[in-house]
Homo-oligomer: A and B are copies of this chain.
Amino acid sequence: MDNFIYQNQTKIVFGKDTENMVGSLIAPTYKKVLLHYGGGSIKKSGLYDRVIASLEKSGVDYIELSGVAPNPRLSLVNEGIALCRENDVDFILAVGGGSVIDSAKAIAIGVLYDGDVWDFFIGKKKAEDSLPFGSIVTIPAAGSENSVSCVVTNDDINIKKGMVSTRAEFAILNPELTYTLPPYQSAAGAIDILAHVMERYFTPTPDVGFTDRLCEATMKTIIDNAPIIMENPEDYNARAQIMWASTIAHNGLLNTGRLGDWASHHIQHAMGGMVDMAHGAGLAVVFPAWMQYVYKHDIARFKQFAMRVWDMDAAFGSDEDIVLEGIRRYKAFAQSLGLPTTLKELGISEEWIPKMAKICGRDGKFVVLEVSDIIEIYKLALV
C-alpha cells in the first residue's frame, strides 16, 4: 500500500426531488450563475423548468450556455469563459452528464486564467484554482460530478485531452432523473462505471486488501443492478445503487494507496477517434481483450476478480480456467446488456489497428504495454 493524500470536499445531495434544492445551495454564497447544459433533453423532461424555478425562488440570477456535445468542445468552453467574464458570473451550474460537467470544469478553470485554457490540457499549467461549480447529474457513468477528471476536445485540431481539474462544490444526484435514459446509454454507463473500478483494481501495488474489497463491492453493485434497470428503467432502488456507486467509482476513494492502470481507457479513446461510439460500448470491447492479453502477469489477482466479482468457485478448475471463465463472464455480462464486444460490431476494421495503436503509444501501469502489445490487444478484440 502506497502513501497517499486524499481530500474530497464535494457536498453530495442524493435522492428524490433534490434538484429543487439547487437554488438554496447556491444562494447563500453566490449571485450570478452560468447555467450550462447540452441539448433539449432537460427541457423535454421538465428538469430545466424545475431548475429555473429553484434558482428564481432563491433569488439567484443566471445566464445560460447550452449546446454541450457528447465530446465537449474547446470552442464552447472558450465561449463560456468569455460569457462568465462579461457577466461577472461567480458560479457555474452544470446540468447533464459527464460531458456537460467536464465542459463546466474547463470553463471554471479557464475563467481564472489569463492565458489559453488549452494550456491545462497540454500540461503547460496545473489547475490549482477555479470558479466554484456544481452539478445536477442526469447520467451516472463518467463520475465527473465528484472526480478531478476533465476531458475536452480541441475542435480546431481535433485532439481530445484530459487534465486533473478541481472538484465540484456540490453534486445533486436524483436517481429519478435517470429513468428516461435510453437503454443503450444505461448499459454503456454501467460498463463505464465498471471500467473506472477495473482500471483501479488491476494495480501493480501490493498489499491493498481493503481497497480491493471496496472495489469489489462497487463492481458487484453494478453487476447486480444493471440487469434490473434494463428490465425496469423506473426501478428507483436499482437506479439509486448504480448512481451512488458511479460517483464512488471515480471519486478517488477506490485508488487510495494504489496505482491504477488506465491503458484500456486510452485504447478505447483511440477507437473513439475513428468511429463514433459510446465510451462504455468501446470499453466493453477493449476490456475482455486487454484482460486476456495481460492476465498471466498476475494470475492471483485475476483469480480473485473471477471469484469475488463473478462468483466463481475454487472447484471450477485450474487457476487459469477460473481466470478465463471470469473474463468470459464479464463479456457475457456486457452482451446481456446489449453492448458490442468486438471491433467488428463497432465497424472498426483490422487495417486501422496500427494507426490506433500508435495514437495510444506506450501505456499502462499494471502492465506496461508497448505499441506492439496494443496491436495484439486490438487483434484479440477483432471478432
Chain A interface (Cβ < 8 Å from any Cβ of B): 1-18, 206-207, 209-211, 213-214, 216-218, 220-221, 224-225, 236-237, 240-241, 244-245, 248, 253, 256-257
Q: Return A304 CB to nearest CB of chain B, in Å.
A: 13
Pair A209/B241 contact, Cβ less than 8 Å: yes
Q: Whole-angstrom distance between the alpha carbons of A241 and B2 in the complex? A: 11
List, in ascending order, chain B residues with CB within 8 A of A6's CB: 11-12, 14
Quote the shortest CB–CB distance from A240 to chain B (angstroms): 5
Q: Return the contact of A209 from the options B16, B17, B224, B253 (Cβ within 8 A).
A: B224
Q: How far is the CA of A16 from the CA of B178 in the complex (A)?
A: 43
Q: Are B210 and A241 in contact (CB under 8 A)?
A: yes
Asked if A240 contacts B14 (CB within 8 A), the reply is: no
- Taking A207-B237, A244-B257 as contacts, is the C-beta distance between A7 and B11 under 8 angstroms? yes
Alpha-carbon distance between A98 and B93 when the two chains are bound, in angstroms: 39
The minimal Cβ–Cβ distance linking A85 to chain B, given in whole angstroms, is 29
Which residues of chain B are near A15, meaning CB under 8 Å?
1-4, 257
Tell me how far the C-beta of A177 lies from the nearest C-beta in chain B, rounded to whole angstroms. 14
Kindly list the 10 A-B residue pairs having the minimum CB-CB distance in the complex, ordered from nearest: A3-B15, A213-B217, A9-B9, A207-B237, A7-B11, A217-B217, A210-B221, A210-B241, A6-B12, A1-B240
Q: Are A225 and B241 within 8 A (Cβ)?
A: no
What is the bound-complex CA distance between A9 and B257, given in angstroms? 18
Q: State A213–B236 Cα separation when bound (angstroms).
A: 18
Q: Which residues of B contact A4 (CB under 8 A)?
A: 12, 14-15
Residues of B within 8 A of A10 (CB): 7
